[in-house]
A and B are shown apart, each in its own frame.
Chain A
Amino acid sequence: MALASVLRSDYADFSFDNHKPFGFGLGLGKSDVRASLGEELSFAVQTSLNSSDGEGIERKIEFLHGTTTLAFKFQHGVIVAVDSRATAGSYIASQTVKKVIEINPYLLGTMAGGAADCSFWERLLARQCRIYELRNKERISVAAASKLLANMVYQYKGMGLSMGTMVCGWDKRGPGLYYVDSEGNRVCGDLFAVGSGSMYAYGVVDTGLRKEEGLTVEEACELGRRAIYQATYRDAYSGGQVNLYHVHSEGWTRVSQEDVLVLHQQYKPQPQA
C-alpha cells in the first residue's frame, strides 16, 4: 500500500536540536519533517526523544498525547467531551481544534495522538461503515465499527502510527463505547478518558457518576463539561473550548461548545460547601 511505503521511509530520524519544538509529522509524507511552528498540528508531546546519540534510528519514542478526551455511558446514552488545544512542544498551535470526528450520524470518534492519523483513519472507517450499510441494509454495530478500525491500524503496528480514539455510538444493543489505539488495543467499557489530562478528568467523573439512580441528560452533560474543565485547569497541554456531544438512540447531538475561561468564571463563585 502507498501509505505503508510512506510510513516505512526513513523519516524516523529525529536528529533535531532539542530546543526546536516540532510537530509530530511522522508519516505525513513530507520530504523533511519540518519543525516550523504550527505547520504540523499535533496533540503529542515529545519528552525524551533524543535520549542519547549513537542509538541509530531505533529510538524509543514516548508518546504523550497532549489532550483530554472523555466518554462515558449512562442511562440515556453516551456523553463525549473533549478539549480543543493542539500543541507543538510547548507552543500552543491552536485553541480551536475539533477533536470529535463525526464518522456518521450515529457514530462518533475522538482524537488523541497524531491529528493526521486520527482523522485519516477515522475517515477511512466512515467509508467502511457506509459500505457495510449498503451491503447489509442495516447500520453497522459499534462493536463491528471499532473492530474494523482496530484491524486496520493493527496492520501498521510498530510503524509509528499514533492514535488513541474512542468509538462511541448507539446500536441495537444500546449505547456502545470502545477504546481503540494504534498499539492494537480494543477495549469495551463504560468510561474512558484519554490524553495527558485524563487523570484529572477521571477524578471528576468517578466522583460524579452514579450508577444506581442514573443521571439525567443535563446532569451527565454537566459532569462531562466539568471533568474536561478541571483537566484543562491543571494540564498545560489541554485547554481551549469544551466540545460536548450526546449520543442517543436517534444518533448524536452536539450539545455545547464553551470556552474554558468562561467556564472558569462560571464555576469560581461556587461555594466550597
Chain B
Amino acid sequence: MAARYDRAITVFSPDGHLFQVEYAQEAVKKGSTVVGIRGNDIVVLGVERKSVAKLQEDRTIRKINSLDEHVCMAFAGLTADARIVINRARVECQSHRLTVEDPVTVEYITRYIARLKQRYTQSNGRRPFGIAALIVGFDDDGTPRLYQTEPSGTYHAWKANAIGHSAKAVREFLEKNYTDEAIAVDKEAIKLAIKALLEVVQSGGKNIELAVIKRNEPLRILEAKEIETFVAEIEKEREEEIEKKKPKKSG
C-alpha cells in the first residue's frame, strides 16, 4: 500500500501521511546524536563525533555551524542537505541585518529554516531535506533560545533536546536531570550536555564535540583537553556518589 504513495512528495496517502516526509525523518534517526541545552546564561550544543578514518583530517567535519555571531546550529541527518540549509540561513541572517538593521532573533531564523523545509515538502520534483536541526543562540535582549526543526517544516522551542541516533534515550535522561539548579551555572550546563552524550556515545570523551555560546560572546568550540577535564570531573562525581551510598548500605 505504502509503495503507491511514496513516489512523489506531493501525494497524500489515504490515511493522511506524507510518506516522503516520514522517510526523511528515518534518515534523521540514522544521523549521529546531537544534544542541545538552554541554560540561564549559556547555550550548549554537544555532538557525537563519528570516528574518522586515519588519513582524514577531522577539522573538515563540522556538525556545529555558526549562522551569525549570536546564533549557531547543529544537525542530524544528511550532511549534504544540511550544507544547503546552512548556506541559505547564513545569507538570510545577513539580509535581515541589511533590511532591518538588526541581527536576527533565533526565532526568526528558525522560522525561515522551517519555511524553507516546508516548501520542499510541497514542491514538484523535490524531496524534503533529510535533516533535523537544533538552533541555539541569544536574542538581542539577552534571552537564550533553543529551537528544533524537523524535515516536515515544524519548529518548536525547547529547554533541552536531542536529535539523531538514540535521541529518545538522551531525551529521557535530560527529562530526569534537567533542573533549574543543573543549568544555573554555566559549567553545570556543559557537564549536563556531556553527561547526556556519554549515555549513548561509545568510548567516552574522545568522540564528543562541544560548542557553547555565552551572552554577548561568539560561538566557542571547546578543545579536546577541556572536554577531557569535564569528563574526568563527571567520573569523579559519579564515584563520589557511589562512595556515599556504600556506608549506608553496610552500616
Contact = CB atoms under 8 A, between A and B. Distances in A.
A144 B108 CA distance: 15
Contacts of B102: 141, 143-144
Interface string A115-135: 000000000000000000000
Interface string A159-185: 000000000000000000000000000
Interface in B102-118: 102, 105, 108
A136 B108 contact: yes
A141 B96 CA distance: 13
Contacts of A136: 105, 108
Contacts of A147: 99-101
A149 to B, nearest CB: 11
A12 interface: no
A154 to B, nearest CB: 12
A148 interface: yes
A151 interface: yes
Nearest to A141: B102
Nearest to B111: A135
A148 B108 contact: no
A143 B108 contact: no
Interface residues of B, number: 6
Nearest to B100: A144
A147 B102 CA distance: 12
Contacts of B101: 141, 143-144, 147
Contacts of A141: 100-102
A143 B100 CA distance: 7
A143 B97 CA distance: 11
A143 B103 CA distance: 13
Contacts of B105: 136
Nearest to B98: A147
Interface in B22-48: none
A135 B99 CA distance: 15
B190 to A, nearest CB: 31
Contacts of A144: 99-102
Interface string A27-58: 00000000000000000000000000000000
A141 B108 CA distance: 15
A148 B101 CA distance: 11
Interface string B59-82: 000000000000000000000000
Contacts of A148: 99
B106 to A, nearest CB: 12
B155 to A, nearest CB: 14
A258 B227 CA distance: 72
A143 B99 CA distance: 9
A136 B112 CA distance: 12
A143 B96 CA distance: 12
Contacts of B108: 136
Nearest to B99: A147
A147 B97 CA distance: 11
Nearest to A151: B99
A88 to B, nearest CB: 37
B162 to A, nearest CB: 28
B113 to A, nearest CB: 15
Identify the interface centre among B100, B102, B105, B108: most chain A CB within 10 Å of its CB: B100
Interface in B89-140: 99-102, 105, 108
Given A143-B101, A143-B102, A147-B99, 5 more contacts: A143-B100, A144-B100, A144-B101, A148-B99, A151-B99
17 contacts: A136-B105, A136-B108, A141-B100, A141-B101, A141-B102, A143-B100, A143-B101, A143-B102, A144-B99, A144-B100, A144-B101, A144-B102, A147-B99, A147-B100, A147-B101, A148-B99, A151-B99
Interface of A: 136, 141, 143-144, 147-148, 151
Return the 8 tightest CB-CB contacts between A and B, nearest first: A144-B100, A143-B101, A147-B99, A144-B101, A147-B101, A141-B102, A136-B108, A151-B99
